[in-house]
């Protein structure tokens, strides 16, 4: 005897890949975006791309923004994430078209919220962000940008102008078949609470942060 799924007692095949689930208008303080929701069946994460204006296939201004609850929602000055998200949304509106892919599962460069908070506690004791992750037995950066590339592919985007200071994002997109025509700096003025963190990103994680020179030289 069989049921609608198949042979009785057998599970239906598990879904894989990235599936577009919904497209909804999202009016914001920056402008009216389309929020396109995706399900990453491989990792179990819900993802969203905020699309502004009419985008074509080539040289689309984009931001791949890693989820950061403390920075994006709480305004933490430990990092510059919230300010970068704000700047990216403003930039695509000023451009007239663009995409911000908000990447869930990237909290703390992929280690998760609680692990990130533990790492922040160690940083308060004097470790830098790299040392803190390693002290917890965690990778320095566990993020995977494959889902971002698949989302861009679904949107019909073939080449991008990438708003990022992180060369690894560019390398990851290229490795997944997305051409990067330009890497656009997204430089946020440092403050007393994040200058050490930003220096570490530049010196140990190869982020391109030339605007720190004046601060470093005057300290």
Cite the active site residues. 141, 143
Distances (CA, A) of 15 to 64, 113, 208: 25, 27, 39
Residue 198: phi and psi, rounded to 5, are -70, -40
Is the distance from CB of 81 to CB of 68 less than 8 angstroms? yes
Is the distance from CB of 128 to CB of 204 less than 8 angstroms? yes
Per-residue burial over 50-73, b = 16 or more CB atoms within 10 Å of its CB, e = otherwise: bbbbebeeeebbbbbbbbbebbbe
Pick the closest to residue 95 from 177, 160, 171 (CA basis): 160
């Amino acid at each position: 005897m069989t049921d609608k799924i198949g042979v009785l007692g057998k599970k239906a095949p598990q879904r894989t890949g990235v599936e577009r689930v919904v497209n909804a208008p999202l009016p914001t303080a920056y402008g009216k975006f389309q929020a396109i929701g995706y399900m990453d069946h491989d990792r179990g994460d819900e993802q969203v791309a905020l699309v502004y204006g009419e985008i074509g296939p080539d040289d689309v201004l984009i931001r791949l923004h890693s989820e950061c609850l403390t920075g994006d929602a709480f305004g933490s000055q430990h990092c510059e994430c919230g300010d970068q998200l704000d700047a990216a949304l403003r930039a695509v509106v000023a451009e007239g078209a663009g995409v911000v892919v908000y990447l869930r599962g990237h909290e703390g460069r992929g280690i998760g919220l609680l692990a990130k908070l533990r790492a922040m506690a160690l940083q308060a004791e004097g470790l830098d962000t790299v040392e803190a992750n390693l002290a917890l037995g965690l990778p320095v950066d566990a993020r995977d940008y494959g889902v971002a590339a698949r989302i861009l592919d679904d949107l019909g985007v073939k080449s991008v102008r990438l708003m990022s200071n992180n060369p690894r994002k560019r390398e990851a997109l290229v490795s997944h078949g997305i051409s990067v025509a330009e890497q656009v700096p997204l430089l946020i003025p440092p403050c007393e609470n994040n200058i050490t963190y930003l220096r570490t990103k530049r010196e140990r994680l190869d982020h391109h942060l030339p605007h720190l020179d004046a601060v470093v030289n005057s300290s």
